[in-house]
Amino acid sequence: MIDNFLQFEAIIEPSQTMISPFIEHPQQLPILNLSLKEHQTRTLNSLDIPIINIESQNVKEHRLVLKDTLFFTKELMKAFLDKSQRLEHPTQCAIQKGPLTERTITSTMDVDDLRDSIGYRLYYYPPGCDRHMIPKPLVINADEYVQEMLFPNHMVQGGIYKAPITRKAIVQIEHWANLWACNIAALLARIAELKHNRFRQLRLAASVISTNQWRVSSKNVQVGRGCDIHPTAYLENTVIGDKVEIGAHSVIRGAMIGDKSVIQNNCTVAYSVLGKECQLRDGANVTYSLLFPGAFTTGSFINTSVMGRNSFFPVGSILTDFRFDGKHVTVSKNGKIVDSGQTFLGGCLGHGAYVGAGVTIPPGREIPNNARLLPSRQG
């Protein structure tokens, strides 16, 4: 594997994409509490690939062209460029169909369905190549590890729900559901890195004098400065920001918690991202979800959902995430109903949205910015 691409240049092609209900461009939206733009820049910088304007491109250099909605990990980019350089033809990054393409909701993306793979807006052009040449799909198998979760057969066909755990993640963020999926994939990529890094696993195992996976995971934790964490709280595979408060008997697993967030007693945060200054009150449970900065909830269970900046969701209301008719959850995009391909998918609250007690939100629904939802009057 080539580690440095010293003669590469990257062109990020702009788009007019706006993500509803936030009415924001994908480049400004958060992935692991950094903007997409920051992720693109940091990842390319780590590979010594400068970002240039299209007017400044040098046809004598290796060129990378990507859409501005594209999230990618370093390992995905390394794999794509390493294989591409061995060819003498332009290439398009394509991912073999599997758990990663299924769980990141490609039906809402501007991608190419290539039968056995999905083609993304990520292209490589060798030196001297004419940009008008049609790139050939270069297929990458990104499914390094798969987490299998057991469900009753009447809920999940075959009784097994598969989630990708891979360092080679790629998502085009062109819908709120893609933003949700991208954050979960990025979290799981950190766990995949630990699985791949045998030396780090052994070092963590030595620190607890055990090879038990849960004891090892409990040592894979980063805690920021000035935190107040109750000694009965349990943390594993988690990053905690500065000045975070975590109460008694709360469980934080595979999560990222932003600065100055407050997680009170008996809460659960699992495989979720909380922005700065989020608050979870006693007994709140947040799993496989994304909470923007300032989100506040007393809800008993929020799953596979998104809460916008400074939004509010109370106990007594429900963000449903499953259809009783056995069909996939559908979402709305550009006025059309789209099959998400997901058995489980909750809803999305816009920035400043408040939900009153006693409200039930169907799966896949989005609530506009600054909306106020109250239960309908009976009779």
| pLDDT score recorded for residue 171 | 98
Identify the CATH class of 8-193: alpha beta
DSSP 127-141: TT--TTSPPEEEEE-
pTM of the model: 0.94
**Structure tokens given for 300:** 């008993």
Helices and strands in the chain: count of H runs, count of E runs: 6, 37
Tell me how far apart the alpha carbons of residues 113 and 232 are, in angstroms, rounded to a whole number. Answer: 49
Question: Within the chain, which residues score under 50 in pLDDT?
Answer: 1-2, 379
C-alpha neighbours within 13 Å on the C-beta side of residue 377:
1
One of 2.160.10.10, 3.40.50.2000, 1.20.1260.10, 3.30.1360.230 is the CATH number of 220-373, namely 2.160.10.10
Tell me how far apart the alpha carbons of residues 181 and 6 are, in angstroms, rounded to a whole number. Answer: 32
| pLDDT score recorded for residue 1 | 45
Q: Starting from the edge strand earliest in sequence, which strands make up the sheet with 251-253, in order?
A: 234-236, 251-253, 268-270, 285-287, 302-303
Question: Within 10 Å of residue 326's Cβ, how many Cβ atoms?
Answer: 10
Tell me how far apart the alpha carbons of residues 269 and 76 are, in angstroms, rounded to a whole number. Answer: 28
| Residue 326 · residue 340 · CB < 8 Å | no
Give the angle 102-108-110 at the CA atoms, nearest 5°: 105
- What average pLDDT does the chain have? 93
| pLDDT score recorded for residue 56 | 61
| Domain range summary for the chain, segments of one domain joined by + | 8-193, 220-373
Report residue 87: phi and psi, to 5°: -105, 165
Tell me how far apart the alpha carbons of residues 143 and 22 are, in angstroms, rounded to a whole number. Answer: 31
| Residue 31 · residue 71 · CB < 8 Å | yes
Tell me how far apart the alpha carbons of residues 366 and 170 are, in angstroms, rounded to a whole number. Answer: 24
Nearest to 227 by CA among 219, 237, 217, 235: 235
Q: How many residues does the chain have?
A: 379
Question: Within 10 Å of residue 69's Cβ, how many Cβ atoms?
Answer: 27
100-137 per-residue burial string, b: 16 or more CB within 10 A, e: under 16: bbbbbbbbbbebeeeeebbbbbbbbbbeebeeeeebeb
Measured CA to CA in angstroms, residue 78 lies from 42, 51, 168, 171, 333 at distances of 14, 16, 9, 16, 32
